[in-house]
Structure 1
Amino acid sequence: MTDAPLIAILDDEPQIRSLLVGALEDAGFRTAAFARAADLEAALRRISPDACLIDLGLPDSDGLALVHRLATESGAAIIIVSGRAQVQDRVTGLELGADDYIIKPFEPAEVVARIRARLRKPAPGPARSDAVTRFAGWSADFGRYILTSPDGTETPISHAEAEVLRIFLDAPRRLITRSQMLDLLGGAAGDSFDRAMDVRISRLRGKLGEDPKNPRLIKTIYGAGYIFMAEIE
């Protein structure tokens, strides 16, 4: 189907690319597979994938640097698929903007499930993905992944940051616990998720022009979670 989500696959191992392409297409996704980072980046000038599966061990690029670039410059969900199993590798990948981290070897069904979780449509409400949502003089365009400030300045946000903002906009002035964040984002419990969440919220606050010592919009309730203080217009 032409409207099926498009998944970009970047891995220099032909067997891995073939395995992922087969599993994803059998599950109803469209795919575009690449062996080199340069080929993927060139293709991104003409295609807009819904998610990117990125191996870190690339022959022509630093995989983590690429993850960070894609997370900040594209609206795609970024999922690392790597043989690097150390906790620090997972933490670093998530801190740099990845939405998820899958360790090789993997079950193809797990990759399909993780992608579906990342691309799951948000519940109906103020922050629908096709809407421009306004709050406290700001607007969030989830179709273009753009935040517009009260003075009209546009700032891109990553898919990961947009997911967090959607959660806040769907529940203004209500406590959202870290456990609820975990459930809504489909993450894996543990220090890596907690650190990645802290980074996402810190970046989102920065893009909203928040004073890190006294944020107005995203309040931290220590030991409990967060409250988004703005009314949705």
Structure 2
Amino acid sequence: MSHARILIIEDEPDIARLITQALDGYGFVTEHAATGRRGLEQARRQSPDLAIVDLGLPDMDGMEVIRQLQQATPCAVLILTGRNDVMDRVLGLELGADDYLAKPFEPRELVARVRSILRRYLRSGAPDTQATPGVARFGDWRFEAGRHLLIAPDGREVGVSATEASMLQALLRNPNRILSREQLIGERDIDPYDRSVDVRISRLRRKLEDDPQNPRLIKTVYGAGYLFATTVRWD
């Protein structure tokens, strides 16, 4: 984790410098881009492990940067925003971001968020220590954990974000068992008003279900969590 590559897309020099110094102190490899287009170019040249994206960029909307990142070079994403709008945060999560942090922020909180995201990212792509296989099959679907990739019944490749991959893997490793929101996200003491888990479940349903409003695979167990209601085979 300490050598993970982090792309900082932030137009304010002082904030970019603060982020860089905080992350460099923990051994992360950082790269900075002052505009959205420059950040996308750098990501295409070498895909980062995580991108920190400011929503208020001078040349393009940060949401569009996140959308293009997830289409071209999928990676973990942390939103950095001065906007105090819940809808902006939800939209960012809908586009595939893994977390958000509001300005002004404490450098220690930034580092903690980055490390938490990368733990999910690495956990979802790493082989199990007990040699658990890395390809899950359910119905006519296939999930390749190491590539964060869903293969649809018609052969289409469906990308998922780092956190979505981690959540999906948790469900697939525990089929027909109720998992709490804390178990799904791999974090303790989630704020009861934090809807990020529910947003990501909705995204997974839209990718997996014929009718996301009446899901057959990912069931909601009210007051308890979510359940993956089918047989899963790991190859």
TM bin, normalised by shorter chain, reads 0.7 to 0.9
Deviation digits for residues 58-88 of structure 1 (CA, Å, limit 9, x no counterpart)? 0000112222333454431111112223334
Shift of 1:225: 1.5
TM-score after normalising by structure 2: 0.84
Q: Distance in 1 between the 2:189 and 2:96 partners?
A: 13
Deviation digits for residues 30-59 of structure 1 (CA, Å, limit 9, x no counterpart)? 111100111111112211111110111100
Secondary structure of the residue aligned to 2:146 is coil
The answer as to 2:188 corresponding to 1:189 is no
Mapping of residues 93-104 of structure 1, within 5 Å: 93-104=92-103
Give the structure 1 partner of residue 225 of structure 2. Answer: 225
Give the structure 2 partner of residue 84 of structure 1. Answer: 83
Q: Which moved more, 1:20-29 or 1:86-95?
A: 86-95
In 2, are the aligned partners of 1:210 and 1:217 still within 8 Å (CA)? no
In structure 2, the CA distance between the partners of 1:170 and 1:74, relative to structure 1 (3 Å rule), is: farther
In 2, are the aligned partners of 1:140 and 1:148 still within 8 Å (CA)? yes
Shift of 1:129: 11
Q: Distance in 2 between the 1:77 and 1:95 partners?
A: 13
Give the structure 1 partner of residue 198 of structure 2. Answer: 198
Paired letter, 1:219: K
- Structure 1 alignment gaps of length 5 or more: none
TM-score after normalising by structure 1: 0.85
Q: Distance in 1 between the 2:79 and 2:189 partners?
A: 13
Q: Distance in 2 between the 1:15 and 1:44 partners?
A: 22
- Structure 2 alignment gaps of length 5 or more: none
Q: Percent identity?
A: 45
In 2, are the aligned partners of 1:5 and 1:29 still within 8 Å (CA)? yes
In 2, are the aligned partners of 1:83 and 1:105 still within 8 Å (CA)? yes
The answer as to 2:132 corresponding to 1:133 is no
Shift of 1:229: 1.9
In 2, are the aligned partners of 1:97 and 1:158 still within 8 Å (CA)? yes
- Root-mean-square deviation (CA, aligned residues, Å) is 2.8
In 2, are the aligned partners of 1:52 and 1:76 still within 8 Å (CA)? yes
Paired letter, 2:202: S
In 2, are the aligned partners of 1:54 and 1:81 still within 8 Å (CA)? yes
Give the structure 2 partner of residue 122 of structure 1. Answer: 123
In structure 2, the CA distance between the partners of 1:211 and 1:173, relative to structure 1 (3 Å rule), is: same
In structure 2, the CA distance between the partners of 1:7 and 1:176, relative to structure 1 (3 Å rule), is: same
In structure 2, the CA distance between the partners of 1:214 and 1:104, relative to structure 1 (3 Å rule), is: closer
Q: Which moved more, 1:65-74 or 1:141-150?
A: 65-74
Secondary structure of the residue aligned to 1:79 is strand
Paired letter, 1:41: L
Secondary structure of the residue aligned to 1:122 is helix
Give the structure 2 partner of residue 151 of structure 1. Answer: 154
Q: Which moved more, 1:197-206 or 1:58-67?
A: 197-206
In structure 2, the CA distance between the partners of 1:87 and 1:215, relative to structure 1 (3 Å rule), is: closer
The answer as to 2:198 corresponding to 1:180 is no
Shift of 1:181: 3.3
